[in-house]
Structure formats: C-alpha cells, structure tokens
Amino acid sequence: MNNRNLLPLAIALLMFPQIAQTLYSPALGDIGRVFKVSPEAAAQTLSVYFLAFAVGVVVWGRLCDRIGRRPVMLVGLAIYAVATVIALRVSSFNGLLLAQGLAAFGAAVGSVVTQTLLRDRFKGAELAQVFSLVGIALAASPAIGLFSGASLVEAFGYRGVLIALVLIAATLWLWSCYALPETRPQQTPHVCVWETLARMLRDVGIWRSALWIAAFNVALFSYYSLGPFIFQRLNLDATWFGYSGVILALGSGFGAWANRRLLQAGFAAMQLIRLAAVTGLLGGIGVWWLQDSGAFVLPMLLIVLAFGMAIPNILGMALVNYSDRLGTAGALLGLIYYLLIGAGMMLAGWSQALGETLIACSAVALLLTIRATKAIV
C-alpha cells in the first residue's frame, strides 16, 4: 500500500480514540441519572478512560515493536469491542468504570500504533505536514462525537452510545484486517524498555513535550467532561451540547489548517506552539468571564483553535532523537502524557471549574514555550 492510500485508514484509526471520548461525553448526564451518582463521580469516567489509556499506550507500543504494527492493531480493536459489549450488560457504576477502563486500554492502540506507523513511513518536514493534515481531520472528531452522542442519548440513552461504539470498532477492525500494512522495519534492534525509559526521563525535551500535550488536551477535554453539567446548570437542552461540538470543530479545523499554511510559509514549530498557548490563554479568560451564560461556548473556539495549531507540531518533533525505537519511545511518551492528562482531568472533574482549568492549562503551555526558547538560545 502506498502512502497516499494508507492515510485515510490511518486518519480513521487516529480519530477513533477521540471520537470514542467525545461520543461518550453527552452520555455523562444520563449515566449520572441511571446509576444515581453525582456529576463529579460521573465525570470521573473520563479520568478512568485516560489512566487506562496510558497503560494501553505502553503495552501496545512495546508490542508493536516486538511483533508488528498490524497484529497489535487488530487485537486492540477487538478488546475495545468486547469491553464495550460488557459495558452494555453491567448494572453498577463500578462495573461500568471497569468496562470503560478495559475499553480505553484497547482504544489506545489507535493512537500509539498509528502514530508509530506514520513515523515509519514519513520523516522530518513531511511528517509535520502529515500530522497537520491529521489535525484537520481530527478537528471533525468533536463534531461527530458530540452531535452524534447527543442525538443517541436523546433517543436511546447512554446504551445507544455504547452500541454505536461497538459498531465503529467492528468496522475499523474489518477495514484494518483488509487494508492495514505491516510497516515495522525488518531489522529492528532489540530495545531495552527500562534503558529507554531512563533516557527519556532525563530528557528535558520529552518532559516539555509531554506537559505541552497534557496541557492542551486537558484544556480541550475538560469541556467535554464538564460541559454537559454546565449546560444542565444553565437549563440548556443536552442537544445544544451536541450542536456546540460542530462550532468547536470549525475552530479546531481552522487551527489545524492555519498551522499547515504557516508551516508551508516557513514559520517554526516553536513559534506556532507559542501562538497557540497565547490563543488558549485568551480563550480561557473568556470562558471564565462568560461562565454564567451560554455564550461561554464562543471563547471555547479559541481553546480548540489552539489545540489544532499546537498538537501537530508537538507530535512532529517529540521523538526526533528516538528514531531507532519509535514504538517503545512513543509508548513511553504516551504513558507520561496520558498519566498527566488523567491527573488533570481528575482535578478538573473534582473542581467543576471550567474557566479556571482552561486558564491554568494555557498558562502552563505558555510558560513552557518561554523556557524552551531560553533553552534554545
């Protein structure tokens, strides 16, 4: 399979974890009602998702270096589908959390293995361009997830969302079975995971990349976690939460598109990350200012624009010094930043303070760009 034919499948696989998260978000209110738990408890399902996702990233990343990209992808998608079927049958909130954790473990394969596959096929500036194209496609994920999720919850409750997720996973499994190539190099050196981990933990650039990724992701996904309850507090119908995803997708898509055009114009990745951090900080202040009105969705456009601009650049340069161990290094990087995301989402869920969360995340991202510039100089 040539690179052009590979991209649609790779993009679909990368979109899958994000669609799974955002499709689930509109169901949080219904989950709280059915299982009789508080908004804070219901919001923790996304925290569990990210923490289990972090474990999956390590396992699948390591295995894709050992036995190949293709078989690992097929196994991970199968685990996700089985776990989601289990979630349909549980009768307790703790059972739902366990099933959600197992599903997240399986879904992680779509992130780490697909990124490794793209790094196998593309290098340098071409890889950054590919990740920018991926970013544009990923911008559609919130719109698809939130709008579809809200519609399914309105018609069938949270179970409708779970059934849709099973069907998506099965479709991707069949597509991958038919079209996913094996891209693992024939001569793959034996890589010690502990030696790689020790090297990465000493690498300031890795920590910077992980904190950047965590900051922009927590800012984005805190809306999906806290948004349903803000809409409830403002007496707005859950369907409007789904519609908001369409608006936010436009912002994220514009950010990814602008990033691609600015890269082509010769702007450096660090400049674009700094611009994204400033944009996110302005958006966070706007959300905090308008948090008692439905108009808070408008400054959220700046948050998703920042996400679409920053993430492709961070991912494109994060592992340039680990080309001999991309699967293992990608898995360990994912472990670090998904643990950070899970912790951040847990704090956001406990606080139920969206504006303050966005300001804190953007301020951290901006501070990191300043320190990175000083380090380079």
SS (H, E, C) the chain: CCHHHHHHHHHHHHHHHHHHHHHHHHHHHHHHHHHCCCHHHHHHHHHHHHHHHHHHHHHHHHHHHHCCHHHHHHHHHHHHHHHHHHHHHCCCHHHHHHHHHHHHHHHHHHHHHHHHHHHHHCCHHHHHHHHHHHHHHHCHHHHHHHHHHHHHHHHHCHHHHHHHHHHHHHHHHHHHHHHCCCCCCCCCCCCCHHHHHHHHHCCHHHHHHHHHHHHHHHHHHHHHHHHHHHHHHCCCCHHHHHHHHHHHHHHHHHHHHHHHHHHHCCCCHHHHHHHHHHHHHHHHHHHHHCCCCHHHHHHHHHHHHHHHHHHHHHHHHCCCCCHHHHHHHHHHHHHHHHHHHHHHHHHHHHHCCHHHHHHHHHHHHHHHHHHHHHHHC
Percent of the chain with pLDDT over 90: 23
Name the CATH superfamily for 3-376.
MFS general substrate transporter like domains (1.20.1250.20)
Q: Which of 31-35, 210-214, 259-263, 289-293 has maximum average pLDDT?
A: 210-214
Q: Is the pLDDT of residue 56 over 70?
A: yes
pLDDT at residue 139, as a whole number: 65
Task: For the chain, give every domain's residue range.
Answer: 3-376
Q: Please indicate whether residue 256 or residue 367 has the higher confidence score (pLDDT).
A: 367
Q: Is the pLDDT of residue 130 over 80?
A: no
pLDDT at residue 338, as a whole number: 81
110-115: average pLDDT: 85
> If pLDDT is split at 50, 70 and 90, which confidence band does 175 have?
very high
* Arithmetic mean of pLDDT over the chain: 83
323-329: average pLDDT: 73
Structure confidence by residue, pLDDT tens digits, 176-228? 998 888 877 776 666 677 888 888 889 888 999 999 999 998 998 888 778 87
